[in-house]
Structure 1
Amino acid sequence: MAENVLTVAKRDGKGKGPARRLRSQGLIPAVVYGRMSEPSHISVDPGLLLKAIETPHKLNTLLTLKLDGGEKHVLFKEYEVDPVTRKLLHADFLEVKLDQPVRVTVPVVTTGKAAGVAEGGILSIAAHDIVVEALPAKIPVRIEVDVTELKIGRSIHVSELKAPEGCKFKFATDYVVAFVAVPEKEEVVVPVAAAPGAAPAEGAAAAPAGGAAPAAGAAAPAAGAAPAAAKGAKPAEKGGKK
């Protein structure tokens, strides 16, 4: 792993006032946290800091801070940026020993094309990072996960992965890293035809059969009664003269 050197300076003042004065000088406040020592308050050039971590390891880049003639090996721990300008406002470092392992988060990258994707499945990444324990100089850039043999409905757990040389995966549960999901089928609604003789739907008028049905409430003609005269027809003449 490449090691980048960064020159920093001690700072005495704390709080918003001294921090503003530092930023007006083009510097930002920072803190170095040690495992067995008190935190060191320093100032650093944000431009040089960002340039120092422009490596494949990014935030996991091993840095050497030069301070008052001495050196400290550190990793970038946390930072704060302005929500509007996105400029770096504050940085925290973690002091490390080159012969002692540290825990860091390393990004996951998939390789190959999953067999299930060719069958219509959807490849999903459930874990985008993995916690790794390694010596500071052995921290990997990425964790490669080969998904070539992954079929529909199958998954890869963290316990199935092989850690890079000099590293260990740290996990409490055997979580899923990647899986191929079954594609969701689109539901097709097929209209159901009414069976012959079936009652019409509620509120629908029944189709007339062989002529219009009598109006609701109309009385049926009595048996043997003569049919009603057609509209406009002349009444039948009475019987002959007596």
Structure 2
Amino acid sequence: METTTLQAEVRADRGKGPVRRLRAQGKLPGVFYGPGLEPTPLTLSPKELEKALRGKRGRNAVFKLTVDGKDELAMVRDVTTDPVTQQLLHVDLYRVFEDKELEIEVPFHAVGRAVGVVQGGILNLTRRHLPVRATPAKIPVSIDVDVTHLDMRDSLAVEDVEFPEGVECPLNPKLTLVIVLEPRMPTADEEAAAAEEAAAAVEGAVAPEGEAATEGAAPSEPEAGGDKPGS
């Protein structure tokens, strides 16, 4: 199983003050926990973790965590980042075992352009991630499903997905994951309302007859026989 090594140290100081000082020194606070292990506060390099997370497995990568000279297998359970700077603020590392299954979510992708979409339909994915159960070495990078054969109103359920060997999905086998929806047609009321709006827009754009702009127009001549100004 391919792993990336992360070096970490056990930290004795806890609380907001010590944690802020660690970050000011360019270090990343974290915690390591899991089966048979008391939560252990750690300090590690944020650059090393960022580099490890840029791999093809992303946050589903398995690390060889070296803590004070002792090696453990670990996965990232949670990462806290600054919402503005995206700086890593804290990491939770979870203890795993090479021969024990664990449940984790992986990205779910639809591959190809469905026949129904070509005909004007809309491809809808009910989930963007799928929970899977597998040993660390068999956790897939993602679950990809071919949708090119799907016609209008066709769908795929969990039971239709071919999962890699050694990988199971705990969801209901009948749960719909992908469906091609027909394009929604406007109702009669919606069409009538749209027509009224269009007609109102046209009327507002054309000035009524006899209401030509008068501002700045020359005064009209007095009728014959009428009084002249100043008479």
Which amino acid counterpart does residue 68 of structure 1 have in structure 2?
Answer: D
The answer on whether the counterparts of 1:80 and 1:89 sit within 8 Å (CA) in structure 2 is: yes
The answer on whether the counterparts of 1:74 and 1:96 sit within 8 Å (CA) in structure 2 is: yes
The answer on whether the counterparts of 1:127 and 1:176 sit within 8 Å (CA) in structure 2 is: no
Which residue in the other structure is 2:132 paired with?
A: 132
Tell whether 2:111 aligns with 1:111: yes
Q: Unpaired segments of 5 or more residues in structure 2?
A: 196-231
Which residue in the other structure is 2:68 paired with?
A: 68
2:111 and 2:84 map into 1 onto residues whose CA distance is 37
1:60 and 1:68 map into 2 onto residues whose CA distance is 24
Deviation at 1:172, TM superposition (A): 4.5
Deviation at 1:37, TM superposition (A): 1.7
1:148 and 1:81 map into 2 onto residues whose CA distance is 38
The DSSP-based 3-state class of the residue aligned with 2:38 is coil
Which amino acid counterpart does residue 79 of structure 1 have in structure 2?
Answer: V
The DSSP-based 3-state class of the residue aligned with 1:100 is coil
Which residue in the other structure is 2:179 paired with?
A: 179
The DSSP-based 3-state class of the residue aligned with 1:8 is strand
Q: Number of aligned pairs?
A: 191
The DSSP-based 3-state class of the residue aligned with 2:17 is helix
**TM value normalised by structure 1:** 0.75
**TM value normalised by structure 2:** 0.78
The DSSP-based 3-state class of the residue aligned with 2:168 is strand
2:159 and 2:89 map into 1 onto residues whose CA distance is 39
When you count helix as a share of all residues, which structure comes out higher?
2
1:72 and 1:63 map into 2 onto residues whose CA distance is 8
1:36 and 1:174 map into 2 onto residues whose CA distance is 36
Tell whether 2:88 aligns with 1:88: yes
The DSSP-based 3-state class of the residue aligned with 1:2 is coil
Tell whether 2:14 aligns with 1:14: yes
2:71 and 2:40 map into 1 onto residues whose CA distance is 13
The answer on whether the counterparts of 2:103 and 2:131 sit within 8 Å (CA) in structure 1 is: yes
Alignment of 1:154-165 (within 5 A): 154-165=154-165
CA radius of gyration, larger in: 1
The DSSP-based 3-state class of the residue aligned with 1:51 is helix
Query: What are the superposed Cα offsets for residues 112-133 of structure 1, whole Å, 9 maximum, x if unpaired?
Result: 2211112211111111110000
2:65 and 2:136 map into 1 onto residues whose CA distance is 15
Deviation at 1:173, TM superposition (A): 6.8
1:33 and 1:71 map into 2 onto residues whose CA distance is 14
Deviation at 1:169, TM superposition (A): 0.7
Query: What are the superposed Cα offsets for residues 23-65 of structure 1, whole Å, 9 maximum, x if unpaired?
Result: 1111021001121121111101111101012111100001111
2:81 and 2:112 map into 1 onto residues whose CA distance is 37
Q: Percent identity?
A: 36
1:2 and 1:117 map into 2 onto residues whose CA distance is 39
1:40 and 1:174 map into 2 onto residues whose CA distance is 41
Which residue in the other structure is 2:3 paired with?
A: 3
1:162 and 1:154 map into 2 onto residues whose CA distance is 17
Q: Which runs of 4+ in 1 moved over 3 A?
A: 186-191
Alignment of 1:199-238 (within 5 A): none
Deviation at 1:22, TM superposition (A): 0.7
1:37 and 1:66 map into 2 onto residues whose CA distance is 15
Which residue in the other structure is 2:209 paired with?
A: none
Which residue in the other structure is 1:151 paired with?
A: 151
